[in-house]
Amino acid sequence: MAKCALALGSNLGNSLDTAANALKALTNIPGVDLIATSSWYQTKPVGPPQPDYVNGCVVLQVQQNPEELLTILQAIELQFGRVRTEKWGARTLDLDILLYEDLVMQTPNLTIPHTHLRERAFVLVPLAEIAPNWIEPVSKKAIAQLAKEVDCTGVKLIDPNDIS
């Protein structure tokens, strides 16, 4: 089993329901065990004009290697109506592998740690909530430290009492 961190995001449809249901779908996969789930955050989009996102992170123990996990994540995205039309465009669901143990790898389809992990508050804030001491293997800094180094404007905790 390997420890990995994933980001979940959505900004089309009922994003909270989509993210929560995608998490359920993910944890129903054999060999995937949920270790921790962050709160949900409302975040400003990166890229073309589009609605705000709902973002969160999870830490999992998985039996799958990174490529197998990526295939699973892409299948779940499709299950929830993900259509890739423009880079950084609006989406029903986005599932990204952020970290996989202390692995550093780059293939045509997958980069670990995630390419933009160190510069994106919408990922670092929820990840720091559940894995503050995880050392990002390129910078050699803890996730909590990286979260302090980015502008967190536009990342707002969603009050669980507001979720119906």
82 labelled catalytic: yes
- CA angle, 51 then 57 then 58, to 5°: 145
Dump pLDDT digits (tens) for 131-162. 999 999 999 999 999 999 999 999 999 987 76
Q: Is the pLDDT of residue 23 over 70?
A: yes
pLDDT of residue 164: 44
Query: Taking a C-beta distance cutoff of 8 angstroms, is the pair 60, 33 a contact?
Result: yes
- Return the higher-pLDDT residue of 161 and 119: 119
Catalytic residue among 96, 102, 118, 159: 96
Beta partners for 118?
Answer: none
Largest CA distance in the chain: 42
Where are the chain's structural domains? 2-162
Which residues of the chain form beta strands (DSSP E)?
A: 2-10, 32-37, 41-43, 53-62, 94-100, 105-106, 111-112, 135-136, 141-142, 155-157
Q: Which position among 17, 33, 84, 91 bears the catalytic label?
A: 91
151 is catalytic: no
- DSSP code of residue 54: E
- For residues 127 and 87, the model is more confident at 127
Given 17, 94, 118, 120, which residue is catalytic? 94
- In this prediction, residues 100-114 reach a mean pLDDT of 96
- Is residue 118 flagged as an active site residue? no
Domain 2-162 classified CATH 3.30.450.90? no
